[in-house]
Structure 1
Amino acid sequence: MSAPTADGTGRSGLPTDPADVTPEVLGRLLNTDVRSVRYERVGSGQMAGSYRLTPEYAEHTGPNPPPATLVAKLAIGELSQRQFAAGVFRNEVLFYRRLAPTLTAPIPRCHAAEISADDTEFILLLEDIAPAEQGDQIAGCAPEQARAIAVAAAGIHAPRWCDNTLFELPGLALPTHDDRVLMDSILEPMADTFRNRFALTGRAADAVDWLVAEAGPWIERPPRRFALIHGDLRIDNVLFGADGAVTIVDWQTITVGNPLRDIAFLLSTSLTTADRRAHEREIVAAYHAALIDQGVTDWSIEDCWESYVDSLIQAPMIIVFGCGAAMPTERGDRMFRTMLDRSAAAIDDLVPGALG
C-alpha cells in the first residue's frame, strides 16, 4: 500500500492534500501550461475533500480555452481511512470514466480522472457549477426541488434500464447470498453502535430494529427491474441553480439495483415529514412519467409505487452504514439523526406494522 510522502502526495504522485495540486500537477492533468493555482474548500463531503481551483494559465491560443475555475475532488486523511474508503474512490472514478457519458442526468463535466493502483489515492477535476449551491440535508428541501431531483434521477436509471452490460464493469453486480452473509455479520454490531451513540428510543429505535431484521432478506431478493443507481441520492449531493436546475454529484456509492431505492431514499430523508406525506405520490408519478419519456415501457405506475414502498429500507441502511464509515462531526451527527427520524416516519406511514 502506498503512504503519503513528505510533500503531501501519495507514492502514486497523486495529491492527498489540496496544497499539492500544484501548477505542475494541474497542468499535466489539463494538458496545458498553468502558472499558478489557488484553492478553497467547498462542500461538506465526509469521505473525500472537494476544492474550488482558480488557475492562472499561460497564454492560450487553442480553440477551447481551459476552465476559469474547476472543482478538484481527492482522497484526504490518514492512509488507514483512505484504505477503508478505497472502494468508493474506485467507484467514482469508474463512474466518470465509463458511465457518466452514457446517462442523461445532469452531471458535472469531468476534465480528468486518475486513481492509484491500490485505489487509495485519486483526483477528479470537475466542472464548477457555481453559483449553484449545495443542498442542506438538515434543513431539507422544498417539494418542487425534490420533484426536480426525482425527474433528473430518471436520467440515471432509464438509459441503463435492465442493461446486463453493467455487470461487465468492476464492482457492479446484484447482491449475492455471500454478500448477505457478509452484511449480516457487520450490520447488527454497527446498529448497536449507532443505537448507543444516539441513545435511540421510540420510532427511531424501532426503525433500526426493523432494518436489522429485514435487511438480509431484502438485499438478497432479486429486484423486478434493475438499473444503475446513485445509492446516496439526497440533497447534500445535489447542487441547486437559481433557475431551479439541479446537478447531481458525489457518485461514490454507485451500484446496480432497484432504481426506486434512489427515490425512496431521496424523499424519505430530504423532505420534512409533512411535505413528504403531502407530495410523495405526485413526485413518484412525475419520476415514473420521466422514465416513460426516456423509453421505459415495462413499468407501470403501480409497479413504481410498490417498489418505492419496498425500497424505504434503503434509508436506515445507508444511515447506519454511512454513520459508521464517516468521521464523526457535529453536523454529521445532526444530519444522521434528522434523516433517521424522517425515514422512520415514512416507514411507519407506508409499511403497516413494521415499527410495531
Structure 2
Amino acid sequence: MRRGTPMSTPVDDHPSHGGIVDDPAEITTDWLTGVLRAGGVDGTVTALRHERIGTGQVGANYRLHLDHTGAAPRTLVVKLAAGDEDSRRRVGPGYRAEVGFYTTFAHQTRVRVPRCWHGAISRDRTRFTLVLEDAHPARPGSQLAGCEVASALDAVRNLAGLHAAFWNSEHLLTGTRWMRRVDEAGAAFLGATQVDATARFVRLFGDALDPEDADTMTRAADLTARWLAAEGSPFSLLHGDYRLDNLLFPPDGAEGVVAVDWQTLAVGLPARDLAYFVSTALSGPSRRAHEQALIRAYHERLTDLGVSGYPLADCVADYRRGLPQGPMIISIGAVFATARRTAASDEMFLSMTRNACAAIRDADALAAVAR
C-alpha cells in the first residue's frame, strides 16, 4: 500500500471535463484512462463496471472493475458525495477535508493510506470525486467485533506515522486556506454543537443507552468548549475518526493496516486520535489489560520517526486528556450522518459509547478537563 501520490485537481478548483461525478456510471473509459496515464500508467481502460462497497455514513464508495490493455490496476475505488443537498452542505467541510488530505498531506506522512489517483471537489463542497487505490483483499475492522491486541498495536504504530510527520508543524497553521486550528470562537461553536448533538443522541437512543453512559456523554459535552480551547502543545494533523471501521486490515492478520475516511481531518492534540482508537476498539477488560502497552508502542514509534522532547509520561497524560474525543465524534456522527439509520449502525454507536465512556470514567478524564 503506497502513501498518497495524487494526480489531482486541487481543493477549491472546479474542474471541467467531468472531473466530479455523482454517479459512478458517469465515469467513462476515456476519462479513467486519462486519470491513470496522468499517474504514470501506460495503459488503456477498455471497459469497466462498478459495485457499491462499504457502509459509509457521509459518503458513497464503489469498486471499479477494469478491463484494460497495458499495466493499469484491475480494480480501483471511487468515493463520491451522498445524501440530499441539505445533508451535503452540512457535511461539506468533511468532503473538503478528505479531498484536501489526499491532495495536500498524504504523500508527506508515514501513515499507510491508499494511493490517490484523482481528487476534485466543487466550490460549494457538495460534490466531490476521489479515485483511490483498492486495498482489497484487506477488509475493514468492526466496532462490534473489536480487534486482537496485535492488530491494535499495528494500528497505533500506523497512527504515529501520521502525527510524527506534522508534529508541532507551523505549516499546518499557514500552509492551506481550509485547514485551521480551532480558536476560542471555534471551540465555543463546537462546544454548543456538541451539547445539542449529545442531547439529541441521548433522546435518540433512549432506554438502549445505559444511564451512566448518558451521564458521561452529557458531562463531556458540557466541557467540550473548554477542552478544545485549552489545547496547546503538542499539536499535529489528526485523522479525527481513527476507529476500526475506518481501518482496513490484511486478511492473514499480518501487519499493514491502512487508514481511510479522512473527513474529520483536524489540527489538535495528537493523543486525541490515540485515545479515541484505544477507547473504542477494545472492550473494557481488554483495554484495561493492554492500554499502557498500546500507549508505549505509539510513543516508541513517534520516537523512531524523529519526535523528540516528548517523554512517555507526557504521552500518558495526553492520552487521558484526549479521551473526550470519543463522546464528541460518536454523538456528532450518529446525529448528523447522511446514511440511513439501521439496527447495525445503532449497535455500532452504542458499542463505541459503552467502551469510550468506560475509559473516561476509568481515567477520571473529565476531571482533567474541568481543572
**Which digits, 9 at most, give the CA deviation of each residue in 1:168-205, with x for residues without a partner?**
21332221111122123322222111111111342211
Structure 1 position 231 matched with structure 2 position 240: yes
Name which of 272, 275, 286 aligns with 1:275: 286
- Give deviations 1:74-116, integer Å, cap 9, x for gaps: 1123222222221111111111111001001111111111212
Letter of the 1:343 partner, please give it: A
- Counterpart code for 1:329: T
Name the stretch that deviates more: 259-268 or 173-182: 173-182
1:19 pairs with 2:28: no
**Distance across 2 between alignment mates of 1:248 and 1:24:** 30
1:75-154 → structure 2 map (5 Å cutoff)? 75-154=81-160
- 1:299 & 1:152 partners in 2: Cα distance? 18
| Alpha-carbon shift at residue 223 of structure 1 (Å) | 2.5
Work out whether 1:218 is the aligned partner of 2:227: yes
- Does residue 313 (structure 1) correspond to residue 324 (structure 2)? The answer is yes
Does the 8 A contact of 1:203 with 1:345 survive in 2?
Answer: no
Give structure 1 stretches of 5+ with no counterpart.
Answer: 1-9
1:188 aligns with 2:188: no
Cα distance in 1 between the residues matched to 2:116 and 2:45: 18
Deviations 1:233-273 (A, max 9, x none): 00101111122321111111111111000010001001111
Alpha carbons 1:161, 1:296 under 8 Å: kept: yes
Contact (CA 8 Å) 1:12, 1:121: kept in 2 or not?
Answer: no
8 A contact 2:321–2:365 mirrored in 1:
no
Partner of 1:290: 301
Q: CA deviation at 1:347?
A: 0.9
Would you say the 8 A contact 1:17–1:76 is kept in 2?
no
- Alignment partner of 1:262 is 2:269: no
Alignment of 1:195-214 (within 5 A): 195-199=202-206, 200-214=209-223
TM-score by length of structure 2 reads: 0.87
Name the counterpart of 2:354: 341
| Match among 48, 55, 76 for residue 66 of structure 2 | 55
SS of the residue corresponding to residue 118 of structure 2 reads strand
Does the 8 Å contact 1:16/1:77 carry over to 2?
no
**What whole-Å deviation, never above 9, does each CA across 1:14-70 have from its counterpart, x for those lacking one?**
22122222324423433464222111122221111111111112x33xxxx221111
More deviation, 184-193/46-55: 184-193
- SS of the residue aligned with 1:85? helix
Question: How many residues align structurally?
Answer: 340
Aligned counterpart, 2:179: 172
Q: Structure 2: how far apart are the matches of 1:131 and 1:225?
A: 36
Matched to 1:246, the amino acid is V
> Contact 1:109 / 1:126 at 8 angstroms: preserved in 2?
yes
Out of 129-138 and 320-329, give the one that drifted further.
Answer: 320-329
Distance 1:197 1:219, change over 3 A: same
Coordinate RMSD, CA, aligned: 1.8
Structure 1 residue 352: deviation in Å? 6.7
**Letter in structure 2 aligned against 1:195:** V
- Structure 2: which amino acid aligns with 1:207? T
User: Unpaired runs of 5+ in structure 2?
Assistant: 1-15, 38-42
Counterpart residue identity of residue 343, structure 2: E
Cα shift at 1:353: 7.7
Identity across aligned pairs (percent)?
A: 36
